[in-house]
């Protein structure tokens, strides 16, 4: 077990590499990845016809594609060719296949293949999930208690499977959770967790301990100092639940202020920011946000507790006078 580094203010801060969030961009930016925009019958990566851009970020793009051999539609995650000369970035992309192979779970997006195309593009072939990410769905809205519990339970159950397989996700956030509008736990929508680009294998040393990757608003104190373990994901899920409850993550601000807050500041209790919230979920979230990883619950226990709460608050139980998630979907 790796010793936890000093989290005091005097400890030197690492160089942070924020994980890019995929977002829609212009045709000129698509051209930088796959060449000039082409009709669907001409845009191709190996035997996949590229039909549409799903999302684009700082490291590459995700595309809707169709396998010419089988007719199946898939998602292709393509590394920006400008990074082709960086073996560590190519290896990180291809590591997502190993993560997916180790961690079989219905709540995890499946990565089916990692390849280099004939023209030199590095890409992943992934399961295509029909839905929208949780960040798009939220858009500043508060979500009802039952939906929060159901989403949290499903995320926790999926990530607990990763932990059982010796993998830490390291980047849980709303944008990495896909919501599908079909009935799942306790009648709430199903979810899937995606993006294993910065996941860490427990048995391997963390690469480049002085340069870390993550999304600042959801990073545990130890993650800021290059040390991660399973409890790091518990903290990130706590931040995500906090945002679902209150409309904002526990801490926001400059990079330096956010780091200091995560390492030193106790967040305001969710129940003080959301009227009508009882002690059960409030206490659980605060335990998940403990500065000391040893004081946080296990992810599998979080899944069990949130599952009970989800079944206690099914769709239609008007615990709070808020727009329901299912109504948003309609």
Tens of pLDDT, residue by residue over 224-253, are: 988 899 999 999 999 999 999 999 999 999
Residue 3 lies in a domain: no
Span between the terminal Cα atoms of the chain, in Å: 48
Residues 301, 216, single domain; the answer is yes
Q: Is the pLDDT assigned to residue 308 strictly greater than 50?
A: yes
**Domain termination residue (choose one: 91, 126, 161):** 126
Residue 7 lies in a domain: no
Of 42-51, 147-156, 227-236, the range with the lowest mean pLDDT is 42-51
DSSP-derived pairing of the beta strands 200-201 and 73-79 = unpaired
Residue 26 lies in a domain: yes
Residue 152 lies in a domain: yes
Residue with tokens 């060719």: 81
Residue 4 lies in a domain: no
- What CATH number does residue 75 fall under? 3.30.200.20
Q: E strand or H helix at 310, and its extent?
A: helix 299-312
CA 206 to CA 226: how far, in whole Å? 7
Residue 13 lies in a domain: no
Give the C-alpha distances (Å, rounded to integers) separating 149 from 180, 216, 248, 288. Answer: 16, 24, 17, 14
Query: What is the length of the chain?
Result: 330
Radius of gyration of the chain (CA): 20
Residues 193, 316, single domain; the answer is yes
Residues 76, 201, single domain; the answer is no
DSSP assignment string, 64-124: EEEETTT--EEEEEEE-GGGTT-HHHHHHHHHHHHHHHH---TTBPPEEEEEE-TTS-EEE
Q: Is the pLDDT assigned to residue 58 strictly greater than 50?
A: yes
**Domain termination residue (choose one: 56, 91, 126):** 126
- The better pLDDT of the pair 122, 206 is held by 122
Q: Is the pLDDT assigned to residue 323 strictly greater than 70?
A: no
**Domain termination residue (choose one: 126, 149, 176):** 126
Catalytic residue set: 171
Residues 300, 154, single domain; the answer is yes
Residues 120, 150, single domain; the answer is no
Residue 53 lies in a domain: yes
The predicted structure's pLDDT at residue 57: 72
Residues 36, 137, single domain; the answer is no
Q: Which domain holds residue 65?
A: 20-126
- What CATH number does residue 187 fall under? 1.10.510.10
Phi-psi region of 178 (alpha: psi -120 to 50; beta: other; left: phi over 0): beta
Residues 212, 154, single domain; the answer is yes
Residues 108, 250, single domain; the answer is no
CA 270 to CA 153: how far, in whole Å? 18
Residues 277, 168, single domain; the answer is yes
Contact 220, 168 (CB under 8 A): no
For 193, what's the count of Cα atoms within 13 Å in the CB-facing half-sphere?
A: 33
Residue 256 lies in a domain: yes
Q: Is the pLDDT assigned to residue 179 strictly greater than 90?
A: yes
Residues 34, 112, single domain; the answer is yes
Give the C-alpha distances (Å, rounded to integers) separating 297 from 6, 37, 267. Answer: 22, 49, 17
- The better pLDDT of the pair 248, 323 is held by 248
| Tally of structural domains, the chain | 2
Residues 314, 221, single domain; the answer is yes
The predicted structure's pLDDT at residue 43: 79
DSSP assignment string, 16-55: EEEPPPPB---HHHHHHHHSS---TTT-EETTEEEEEEEE
Model-level pTM? 0.83
Q: 86: Cβ–Cβ under 8 A, 6 or more apart, which residues?
A: none
Residues 122, 139, single domain; the answer is no
Q: E strand or H helix at 57, and its extent?
A: strand 48-57
Give the C-alpha distances (Å, rounded to integers) separating 320 from 62, 188, 269, 308. Answer: 37, 16, 18, 18
């Amino acid at each position: 077990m790796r010793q936890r580094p000093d989290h005091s203010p005097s400890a030197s801060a690492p160089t942070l590499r924020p994980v890019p969030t995929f977002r829609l961009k212009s045709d000129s930016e698509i051209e930088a990845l796959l060449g000039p925009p082409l009709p669907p019958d001409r845009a191709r990566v190996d035997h996949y016809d590229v039909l549409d851009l799903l999302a684009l970020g700082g490291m590459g793009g995700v595309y809707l594609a169709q396998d010419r051999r089988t007719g199946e539609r898939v998602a292709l995650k393509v590394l920006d060719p400008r990074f082709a000369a960086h073996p560590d970035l190519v290896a990180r992309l291809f590591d997502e296949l190993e993560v997916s192979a180790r961690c079989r779970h219905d709540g995890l997006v499946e990565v089916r293949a990692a390849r280099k195309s004939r023209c030199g593009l590095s890409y992943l072939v992934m399961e295509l999930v029909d839905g929208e990410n949780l960040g798009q769905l939220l858009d500043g809205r508060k979500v009802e208690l039952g939906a929060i519990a159901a989403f949290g339970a499903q995320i926790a159950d999926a990530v607990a499977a990763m932990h059982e397989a010796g993998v830490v996700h390291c980047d849980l956030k709303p944008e990495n959770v896909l919501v599908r509008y079909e009935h799942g736990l306790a009648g709430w929508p199903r979810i899937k967790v995606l993006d294993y680009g910065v996941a860490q294998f427990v048995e391997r040393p963390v690469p480049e301990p002085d340069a870390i990757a993550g999304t600042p608003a959801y990073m545990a104190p130890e993650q800021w100092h290059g040390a991660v373990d399973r409890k790091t994901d518990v903290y990130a899920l706590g931040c995500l639940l906090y945002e679902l409850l209150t409309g904002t993550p526990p801490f926001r601000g400059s990079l330096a202020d956010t780091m200091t807050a995560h390492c030193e500041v106790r967040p305001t209790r969710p129940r003080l920011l959301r009227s009508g919230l009882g002690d059960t979920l409030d206490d659980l979230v605060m335990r998940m946000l403990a500065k000391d990883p040893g004081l946080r619950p296990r992810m599998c226990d979080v899944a069990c507790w949130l599952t009970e709460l989800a079944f206690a608050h099914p769709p239609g139980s008007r615990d709070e006078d808020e727009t329901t998630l299912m109504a948003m979907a309609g």
